[in-house]
Structure 1
Amino acid sequence: MSNRIIESFYTDGACLGNPGPGGWGLVINFVDGSVVEIGGAEEQTTNNRMEMQAAIAALKVLDAARQSNPVTLYTDSEYVKKGITQWISGWKKKGWKTSKGEAVSNQDLWQSLDRLNSNLITWKYVRGHSGNPGNERADAIASAFASGTSPSLQQAFPSNLEVALQEISDPNVAGLSDKTAPTTIAYKEKQSSVLTAEQTMTESLANNVLEDLNLPRELRVTQLRGLIESLRIADEIASKGYLISSSELADLMDVNASAVTSRGDHWPWRNWVVSRVRREGNQILWQLERVD
């Protein structure tokens, strides 16, 4: 599978209790429109550390991709954005002390961010929960891991990220706690109405990588249950003749909404044929018909 050029990252962190169980999410957008999603969890952490952990994962991916194209990293954490672009130089000059002479919090992660930071990265703040699709998705991934679950995701990825994903899953890499849960990886297939031979090979490769990452059986079963639940819902929608919107269908398929609307008026998905029925206001309504 050919390499892809990274266009942007969306990062987010979540924590239940703060401190408490936490999760981080990373959405990687490529110039060809494809998307890779990564997430992880820690048993006891803080929201700031999870925000930083997501950014560290993004920088590790960029380093492994070895591309020369600039990338924008979006974060809804002013702590992360201002820390890496404004405060860190002063902290380093003062021996990792604040202006009050106190030790900088989360120094281990700040040092990792500083070491991995690249002049290819443009750090940008995006307001959380404001409807930004990338930010909302990163938040959903982080929140799922923080709550002890994981999103139901298709498990494949571009070949040029294999090294990065292996590194991120290594608890001994600086910046990753030894309590970090195994990373969940997902690749959302490019906007196409049929499964290509390249995508088939990608899914096979992804299965091998997941085995290499030694994901716990419980996590694999949880992901499978999530998939089965999505398929059950699709079957009920088809049997009852319900109409669903593009955004609802995208959530069901776990793809971007644009991947639904760009496929045309009539196309196959798993055990169903999806057909465009009509438009109501700003919404396109779709119907699912079961085919075995």
Structure 2
Amino acid sequence: MAKADGRGRVVAAATDGACSGNPGPGGWGALIRFEDGSVEEFGGADPATTNNRMELQAALEMLERLAELPRHPDLVLRTDSKYLIDGLSSWMPGWKRKGWKTAAGKPVLNQDLWQALDQARLADVPLRYVKGHSGDPDNDRVDQIAVAYSKGTAPRLKRGSQSTPVKAVDPTADDPTSANAPAPAALQQLLTRLELADRLAEGGFALSTVELAQLVEQPLTRLAERQDSWRWRDWLVEPTDGDRWRLRRAEAGSRQSRNPDG
């Protein structure tokens, strides 16, 4: 295990792949969150590929990166690719017994990437399925990165406190007064998180401390110190049994202490 730096351990990871044409030009995206709240994003492109290959490439790049970093014991790799999850968890043992052949006796597609993933997999980092385009902030973000690369543009990537230069995907993006100009990416991501918070509150779903840190974008160490209810934007965050939290819409005029970062 690599030594921890000032960022602490990795608490969240997500990957996605995209392809224009399938086969066609493709891209992949990956995102890592650390205990101190910092984010590291990376991705890449392939001029002639498939969506499945990009999903596998994203996971491979992520696992190789995670192998170099200290990891929180609750860390999971979030992906919307059932192909990736089923391949690693269910299909691969049979492929290997049959000499990398399918049940029909045909060569396994994308064998090179599957074999690399078999070597790179980390026993302490299970895969978890998340439905694509469902409002999951990290899944939406890696999708944006992958799509941008598949279209030949260079997305703005977070690397701790640094960012790489960005190419405008839309010619109106450099003109904030244009009627067609999209909302700034930061506001789009915030809206996604707020919509997700509303659904979590309405459904009464419980979050682990790691998951809550992703939602409110605060260091895990700060949340671990909290014992009582506290306010984040328009929601009360309340502790439940087993180191878990629930969100509840705050009533107007609530006197609960407000999160200074929210």
Change (3 A) 1:231 1:34: farther
> 3-state SS of the aligned residue for 1:103?
coil
1:181 aligns to what? none
Residues 9 and 35 in structure 2, CA contact (< 8 A), matched pair in contact too: yes
Matched pairs, number: 191
Give the letter aligned to residue 39 of structure 1. Answer: G
- Structure 1 residues 23-172: aligned runs within 5 Å: 23-67=27-71, 69-153=73-157
Deviation for aligned residue 1:41: 0.3
Q: Confirm whether residue 20 of structure 1 aligns to residue 24 of structure 2.
A: yes
Give the letter aligned to residue 141 of structure 2. Answer: R
CA distance in 2, matches of 1:113, 1:9: 16
CA distance in 1, matches of 2:118, 2:84: 11
Q: Confirm whether residue 250 of structure 1 aligns to residue 187 of structure 2.
A: yes
1:180 aligns to what? none
Deviation for aligned residue 1:40: 0.5
> So what's the TM-score if we normalise by structure 1?
0.57
2:159 paired residue among 181, 187, 192: 187
Deviation for aligned residue 1:141: 0.5
Deviation for aligned residue 1:66: 4.9
1:157 aligns to what? none
Instruction: From the two aligned structures, give the one with the greater helix fraction.
Output: 1
Deviation for aligned residue 1:231: 7.2
Deviation for aligned residue 1:262: 7.4
> 3-state SS of the aligned residue for 2:68?
helix
Residues 76 and 127 in structure 2, CA contact (< 8 A), matched pair in contact too: yes
Give the letter aligned to residue 187 of structure 2. Answer: A
Give the letter aligned to residue 64 of structure 1. Answer: E
CA distance in 2, matches of 1:43, 1:106: 16
What is the CA deviation profile of residues 32-56 of structure 1, one whole-angstrom value per residue up to 9, with x for unaligned ones? 2221111100000000000001100
Q: Which runs of 5+ in 2 are unaligned?
A: 195-215, 219-230, 234-251, 253-262
1:10 aligns to what? 14
Q: Which runs of 5+ in 1 are unaligned?
A: 154-185, 190-202, 211-219, 238-244, 264-280, 282-292
What is the CA deviation profile of residues 205-249 of structure 1, one whole-angstrom value per residue up to 9, with x for unaligned ones? x8xxx8xxxxxxxxx5xx2657x976752xx59xxxxxxx9x975
What is the CA deviation profile of residues 39-87 of structure 1, one whole-angstrom value per residue up to 9, with x for unaligned ones? 1000000000000011001101111115474520011010000101111
CA distance in 1, matches of 2:103, 2:149: 35
> So what's the TM-score if we normalise by structure 2?
0.63
CA distance in 2, matches of 1:128, 1:252: 15
Residues 22 and 43 in structure 1, CA contact (< 8 A), matched pair in contact too: yes
CA distance in 1, matches of 2:70, 2:106: 37
